A = this chain, B = another copy of it.
Amino acid sequence: MVTGSCFAERLEKHIPLNEAERRALARLEETQRKVKRGAVIQRANDIVSELFVLRHGRVMSYVILPDGSRQILRVYFPGDFIGSASTIYSKAPETLVALADSVVCPFDKKGLRVLLEEYPRVAALMFVLSQAERVALTDRLASLGRTSAKARVAAFLLDIIHRLRVMDDDITDTFDLKLTQEEIGDAIGLTSVHVNRMVRQMEAEGLIRRSNGSITLLNEKKLAEIGHYTDRYTELNLDWLPAA
């Protein structure tokens, strides 16, 4: 039997839930599906009616443009709600691939409907958290549109570590990226060659350290300055939502 809900746990980082809400959210995670690293969870343009909560592991979403180039849209962590575009489109606009061996909990959008109908506070919360996603995306947009290669790498690394910290208090300054340099490039609009140059430069400057796949941020303050980075995950203010 499932012990708890990853998604509820995430929401409770921001606002307390009551027992009924917690139970309702846990129901979304009743079905668990293991996916191996590299496996495609959802393919762009396939007909879908499922969405997912990511329970373990790591997932990315991307699109492939007609010329073959790839834009990675987002990297997801446990507790994230993914594939939500299927709530409005019958054909998936993006591909979902596991970056590490993962566990996803699929559920039909009809299941979401029941949740939204019966737990308006959860509906409000989900609407509100989708705003946080929106702001994160606009930050990326500014990063891609208006900052240098080095700034993009810095902002990307900071974004990842901040999001990991939301769910895992143990993380201090070191984390596993689980992305190749080519994937980093596809996320921030650079070639793998240039990502490499930036990464080595930052390493040479003592901003980061690398060993195996893991990265240590040696000077977060400086990195934030270089990347024009603003943390959008810790300062959420949800007091105005209905009480539990």
Contact = CB atoms under 8 A, between A and B. Distances in A.
Contacts of A140: 141
A67 B145 CA distance: 13
A63 B128 CA distance: 21
B128 A124 contact: no
A176 interface: no
A145 B89 contact: no
A153 to B, nearest CB: 13
Contact of A141 (B67, B69, B141): B141
A71 B130 CA distance: 21
Contact of A138 (B66, B94, B238): B94
A129 to B, nearest CB: 8
A179 interface: no
Q: What's the number of copies of this chain in the assembled complex?
A: 2
A88 B142 contact: no
A138 B63 contact: yes
A126 B124 CA distance: 9
Given A69-B146, A85-B134, A134-B134, 13 more contacts: A61-B138, A63-B142, A65-B147, A74-B138, A89-B235, A93-B138, A113-B124, A113-B242, A120-B120, A126-B127, A134-B137, A137-B137, A146-B189
